[in-house]
Amino acid sequence: MAGTSPWADAVPAEWWERLAARLIEALVFGIVYYILFIALWAVFRTVGMMDVFGGRLPGVLAWAAAGLGYAGYDWWAHWRHGRTFGKAIMRIRLAPRGVPARALLKRSLVYPGPVMLMGIPVANLVAGMLLFGVGMLILIDKPLERGPHDRLAGTRVVKDLR
């Protein structure tokens, strides 16, 4: 049917389901961050480089690696399965199916991509405000409830009623 939305019959995911999915994923990637931080801290302390960036280098690199890993995982999971493990637990998914990988990459770089900047002083404030802003835009965008990352990719998060 011409002019109809690709998700016209899809039930939108509730904001709290989306938030819960991200919190589940953040818990896992937070653990990855702390493991990386401890390992990098030990390496930099051993080689005598703890004074670089005022002792912040292990944190900066751990945030960058964990953030890059999270954004990469977000892209891959949506491209391959239409959802991440957090979305699978919450029984929600991305619609429509079959979004091009390039569009999903843009989506992942807008959100959760800014997590890569969280270890850099001042940039972490900007990244945090961006992530908060994305969440707020999802709440106020009625009736589609899409964030800028969804609009960029032409997607929407819906309940997985299969």
pLDDT tens, per residue, the chain with 162 residues: 445 566 566 889 999 999 999 999 999 999 999 999 999 999 988 887 777 777 888 888 999 999 999 999 999 999 999 999 999 999 999 999 999 999 999 999 999 888 888 888 889 999 999 989 998 999 999 888 899 999 999 999 999 987
Greatest C-alpha distance within the chain:
66
Phi, psi of 55 (to 5 degrees): 85, 5
The CB density around residue 134, as the number of other CB atoms within 10 Å, is 17
Residue boundaries of the structural domains of the chain? 15-159
